[in-house]
Structures are given as structure tokens and as C-alpha cells.
Chains A and B, each alone.
Chain A
Amino acid sequence: MYRYDAIDRAFVQDRTAEFAGQVVRRLAGEITEDQFKPLRLMNGLYLQLHAYMLRVSVPYGTLSSVQLKKLAHIARTYDKGYGHFTTRQNIQFHWIKLADTPAILGELAMVEMHALQTSGNCIRNITSDPRAGATAEEIDDPRVWSELIRQWSAIHPEFSFLPRKFKIAVTAAPQDRTAAKLHDIGLLLRRARDGSLGFEVIAGGGMGRTPYVGPTIREFLPAHHLLSYLEAILRVYNRHGRRDNIYKARIKILVAQLGAEEFARQVEAEWEAMDRPSVDAPDTELARIRGFFNPPGFAVLPPKSEVFEGAKADPAFARFVRNNVHAHKQPGYAIVDISLKAPGETPGDATADQMDAIADLAERFSLDEIRVTHEQNLVLPHVRLDDVPAVFATLKAIGLSTPNINLVSDIIACPGLDYCALANARAIPVAQDIATRFADPERAELIGELKIKISGCINACGHHHVGHIGILGVDKKGEEFYQFTLGGSAAEDAEVGKILGPGLPANRVGDAVETLVDVYLRERKDGERFLDTYRRTGLTPFKEAVYAEAH
């Protein structure tokens, strides 16, 4: 993992001191709420329905045990004993007091963390592959580049007051676990024929009110030019992105209006005019950062483990392995997903005790590392096969052994109207209801991969546009209604879902999901996922079934 040096430490301390001063001035009435709001947002602090919410950055989804324990401590000391992992690989605390926030930021700084740029119209936390450094699929470690971008984007003098927020994803595997094509910029690591490293650059993807799968604006950017090229994209956006309408201010609208080709031409022209060597980080710096991501001391182990194979005699363990355990690049190791989606629980929530327990597991069994996924789950990236049964047993004891990764009950949901000041409808109770209906793990496995994503408003924090089944809460004359979309995907085959039909009242949502699943089970051919069947049959059979019931 990356570790701060004296410069990084000083930077976060300076930032914390700055915000502490701003809080003091706000409490004393020296600055107004209008002036203070953008300042607190740039430090991740929102005022929500019941209290302040602090969103802490988990840089590209990586945590150490010490960091996760600090998050548990914050949950226990300053909140009500839990936190909520988000679709941006961050964590939110929902019951925060303004007066406590300088102290919390100080505690975070002690473990090399911050809440910098987790809100506001600036470059947000970088999204990356939760299996980075553990999967054999990747052609390079995306964390190296994510860390480079994290530093470059930190209080960027030119790009901290953009037309709108700005999200960047970096991935290096053919299987996209970052939703790269739905980001303002998606960076896909590629190797050229001569072996040199570069990026396919995607720009102008996004969700929200007007979803777009981003187009490729450059097939291959030599990797060492990453920062100057990003600077060129951001500069074109900062100058020409719309500022008159909050819903048309994201880069996706600019790219769509100019066309990908013209946008790319403007970026290239800016890039050509730029003094690139002054912007790009030197090779020495890249090497320094890369050094932090060297393989973390793997043991030489046989590829098969008798302990692991033997434990599969327990059907519950075997089921857990089938769904939550994945191949590791190092023989004798595995990647273990921890589902935060126990049916009936709040998607993405973890209690302070659970966080502590997971941190202990990581310390003992995962070379001190934990990852956060954009699907609101956690990952132990480096577990010896021999240790997986012990990890499973501990997870079971703390209620976190749900074997449902990528299954129907592994639902993404934003906090919705239970917490969020922007929401129009609740999302959590909807997710709880659906997951409870599919709580039988055998049935869930029979259904197979099915990604349900729920947002409580059009801002789409719950990624509903790219759910195999997407559910959007809307406010229809004051009543909560839910609009379904089908066929979305956030993966390498990214696609925006199509609207099924008129919105449904809250009490019909669960039945409708069951109907959609029944149609799929009826229609599916061998080996088809829900998404495959939908792509073959189209909306019609699903639509007919859901709306036939309406009468």
C-alpha cells in the first residue's frame, strides 16, 4: 500500500488546520452558510436530514487494518456505531456533529486518511479495481496510477471549481469492476505491441439525469503522459462545460454536444500546446510510487490446499467458496469477498464491531489489506487458501458470511430518503424487502448473476441505470413511486438500461422483481444470465408479465 511521506503528512495536516479554522469562523458567525457550504462540501461534510454526514475518502478503495480500525473508532466515538460504504468506494458517517469534524479529520490524518474532495465540484476520489494487485487478469497495477492521480488532483489550483463534480476510474483488467465507462474519465490500461504501457482514454460517461456510456477519445496514450493529458481534458472541460444548468454541467453533456471526435480534437490541441514535461511526473516519482505496490511478501505455497478442499465438505462453506472466493494470481492464495448485503440488513452498512473484526482478519490473514468495492462490499485480497475456512468461520460469527456476491440479494442501494436531503424516495427498505424475498441461498444461486441497483433520486448514487434490474425512486405527487429499467450493465459491456414501463407504487416493487425473475427463469437458455436472456428477448416478455399483474 502507499504510505505517506513527510510531504503527504504535512499536506493533510495543513488541510485539516484550514478546515478547523473555517469551522471556528462559521460557528462564530464570521462566514455565512452560503460561504461555508462549498467549503465544508470540499471536506466531505453534508447536512442531511437528521444530522451532518461526513464522507471519508478511501483512496481507490484500499484500506489497511489500522485505517479500518480508525473508521470503527470514528463510528463508535462520533457516530452511532456504524458506517455506510458507498458506490464510490468511500465510507459515510450519518450522525456527525459539525463541531466534531475538525477532531475527526485530525484522527483520520493520523492514519493517512482524509475527507478531501469527497464532495464539491472538483476531482473526486479515484475509483479502481478492488482486486488490484491480487488478480492475474491485470496487465499492470492500477493503484500506481490511481495514487499518481490522487496526488495530482489534490487541491488542484486550476480544477477545484469545475462546472460540476468529476470522477475518474482506472482499471487494468479485461473484466471491469470499476464502471469505468460510466465515469467522467475512464482509464483502461493497455499494452502496445512493443510492450509499452498506455491508456485507452474514455471521456464523458456518467449516470444522473442523462446517462451516457462514455466514448473512447484516445485509443492509446503513452502512460507517462497521463497527467498532462488529464490536465488537457480538464482544461477543455473547465473552460467550455456548461455552468448555467446543474443538470447539464457534467462533462458528458459537453462531450455529447461537441461529439466525441470534436471533443478529442480540442483536447489534443490543448495537449499539444501544453508544456507537457512540466506537468507529467518524472519516472523517478513513478518508480517511487510503484515501489509501494510491490507484491506484499507472498509465501511460496502449493496451488492446492488440502485444508481448503476438505472444508468444502461443509455445504455452507462450499457455497461461500462458489460465490465469494476468487482466483488469486499467487498460487495458494485467494481473494475473499465479504458481502455487506445480508438479507434484511442495510446494503453497505457495517457496524464498528464488524469493522474491527474485519480489520483483525485482514491483519491475521490478508497481509493487512482490505478493499472496498463500488458494489458496497469489502474484500480481503490476499488470503491463503489454508486460511479461508478460518476466515469464513469468523465472518459467520459476526454475521458477514452471506454467500451472495453478484447474486439477486447483493443489491446496491443509496441511503435514499431515510437519510439523504436530495432523495425523493426511500431505497434501503426497498432493498431490504427484495433481499428478504430472495434470502434462500439455494434459490439465489439458481437464479445466478443478477445485479439489482436502487437509487432514491435521479442523481443515481445507487447506479440504477446500469443495474441488470435498475430501480429509481421518484416522487409522484408526493407518493413514492419506483421506475424500473432493465438491461443495464456497469461492466466492460457497459450499457444503460431501458425503462420497463410506468412507475410502480412502493408496495408493488417486491412482487414486480419476483415476476421479472420468474420470466427470466422461464425464458432462459443454458448458461444465460438474466442480462443475457434480456438481451436476447428484449423487454417485451418482462413488460407483459409485470403489467399484466397490474389489473
Chain B
Amino acid sequence: MKALTANTLREGEVVFWNKGAWKLRFGEAELFEDDAVAEAAALAAVNPTQIVEPYLIDVEAAEDGFAPVAFRERVRALGPQNHPQHGKQAEGGHDIEVIQHAHGVARSAGRHNLIKLKK
């Protein structure tokens, strides 16, 4: 499963795509079963005056919900661990708790279409 994410241009805020609109919470993200549909959405979502570098992330089923696979993406969906009062996690809620309690090893392979550093 995939979701589409980006940061807003003006604020740098983390956002998630849902059927033509950008949402503030991971819990509101549209989940794509079909990679081709996800990639089409990523192309359609490009809007250089609204957001910066949209990309797809891997999502997996977690207990009672869904969570990004990559640790990095969980951090983006939650906020920094050293300041629980900052970022998305501050508001709490079911989707946040699901990510906070997601089991298993997060794989960084969950990022797609990122600029790759030359090795």
C-alpha cells in the first residue's frame, strides 16, 4: 500500500494527499492499493506553488489501523521524539496512536522518488 506525501511550500508543513486535496494528518491520507494509481496521483498532485517535491511512501497495516513503513515517515507523521508537544503527535488521536504503537522494524525502503545521492 502507498500514500502520497509532501511539504507545503509556504509553511513546510507535512501533508498527505486525499482525492485532490492535501490533508494535515496521516490518518486522512488516501491509501493506494494499486501502485499505478498511486503514481498517477503523484503526477497529478504536482503543484510547484503549493507544495514541494511530492513522493510516495509505503504504508502497512498496523494494529487497528495503518502506519508508514519507514521510520523517517513515521517521524514526519508524528513529530520529533524529544518534543512530544510539537508536530502532529501533539493533537493525539487514534491515527497517531496507531503509528506510535506500530510494531515491527521500520524499513527505510519506504521512500520513493526521492532525490538519490550519488554513491
Contact = CB atoms under 8 A, between A and B. Distances in A.
A428 interface: yes
Contacts of A349: 82
Given A33-B53, A417-B72, A419-B80, A51 B13 contact: yes
Nearest to A345: B82
Nearest to A423: B72
A76 to B, nearest CB: 14
A26 B52 CA distance: 11
Interface in A318-348: 346
Contacts of A477: 105, 107
A80 B9 contact: no
Contact of A33 (B48, B72, B119): B48
Interface in A338-373: 346, 349
Nearest to A80: B86
B106 A33 contact: no
Q: Do most interface residues of chain A lie in helix, strand or loop, or is the interface mixed?
A: mixed
Contact of B86 (A26, A52, A95, A246): A95
Interface string A45-69: 0011111100000000000000000
Contacts of B80: 50, 94, 418-419, 428
Contacts of A51: 7, 11-13
A29 B52 CA distance: 12
Interface stretch (A96-104, A150-158, A308-316, A374-382): A96-104
Contact of B108 (A50, A99, A247, A478): A478
A79 to B, nearest CB: 10
Given A50-B87, A98-B12, A246-B117, A428 B82 contact: yes
A16 B75 CA distance: 33
Contacts of A32: 48
Interface residues of A, number: 38
Interface in B23-70: 48-49, 52-53, 69-70
A475 B81 contact: no
Contact of B82 (A28, A47, A95, A432): A432
A426 B72 CA distance: 9
A31 to B, nearest CB: 9
A118 B14 CA distance: 24
A479 interface: yes
B9 A50 contact: no
A429 interface: yes
Given A50-B12, A475-B108, A429 B82 contact: yes
B76 A97 contact: no
B79 A50 contact: yes
B12 A96 contact: yes
B45 to A, nearest CB: 14
A480 interface: yes
A27 B9 contact: yes
A54 to B, nearest CB: 10
B101 to A, nearest CB: 17
B12 A246 contact: no
Query: Which of B14, B49, B75, B105 is packed against the most chain A CB atoms within 10 Å?
Result: B75
Contact of B107 (A94, A95, A432, A478): A478
Nearest to B50: A29
Nearest to B107: A478
Query: Which of A33, A52, A426, A478 is packed against the most chain B CB atoms within 10 Å?
Result: A478
Contact of A478 (B12, B48, B109): B109
Contacts of B75: 49, 417-418
A424 interface: yes
B47 to A, nearest CB: 9
A97 B82 contact: no
Interface string B1-26: 00000010111111000000000000
A98 B82 contact: no
A29 B51 CA distance: 11
Contacts of B69: 478
Nearest to A475: B108
Contact of B105 (A96, A245, A246, A479): A479
13 contacts: A27-B9, A49-B14, A49-B76, A50-B14, A51-B12, A97-B11, A98-B12, A247-B118, A346-B83, A349-B82, A418-B82, A432-B82, A478-B105
